[in-house]
Amino acid sequence: MIAKKRTKAEPTIPAATLSDIIFLLLIYFLVTTTLAAEKGLPMTLPGKASKTVKLRQEAVFHINILQDGTIKTKETGPLEVKRLRQLVEEKLLLNDKLVIVIETHPDANYGLMVDVLDELRLAKATRISLRTTAPPGSGA
């Protein structure tokens, strides 16, 4: 009796396509993680313990956002948002410690305030203060 020689094939998992699948998964996660990044305009609010500092008039630059959406400064009158960057850059050249106050009317759109803040950040302004226009008759 002849013992039949068993040709025993090693069981293997086909690995040739595995790297393809892994590669696709990799691309998927690469794309989704970059989309998760969030952008914003960082700002530090004055806390409860912050003291109010009195500043001289010439050390402060006011930008007013009115109810109807016009943006105004004392010197130039109404102006476009896009022009703010250049204006502020020039101001900062003269005085790099300039404090810029964005005074927004309570009924103005929030988006406008962000537009102005964006321009200031593009002009590399760091000392920015946010303020709300006091409603008339409040005595403030």
The secondary structure of 56-97 as a DSSP string is -GGGEEEEEE-TTS-EEETTTEEE-HHHHHHHHHHHHHH-TT
Task: Tell me the CA end-to-end span of the chain in Å, nearest whole number.
Answer: 112
Selected binder of another protein within 11, 42, 77, 137 (CB under 8 A): 42
Residue window 44-83: x/- pattern of binding to another protein, with contact defined by CB under 8 A:
xxxxxx---------------x------------------
Interaction residues for another protein, span 105-134 (CB under 8 A): 105-115, 117-118, 121-122, 130, 132
- Bridge partner list, 64: 72, 103
Which residue ranges make up the site for another protein (CB under 8 A)? 18-19, 22-23, 25-26, 29-30, 32-33, 36-49, 65, 104-115, 117-118, 121-122, 130, 132
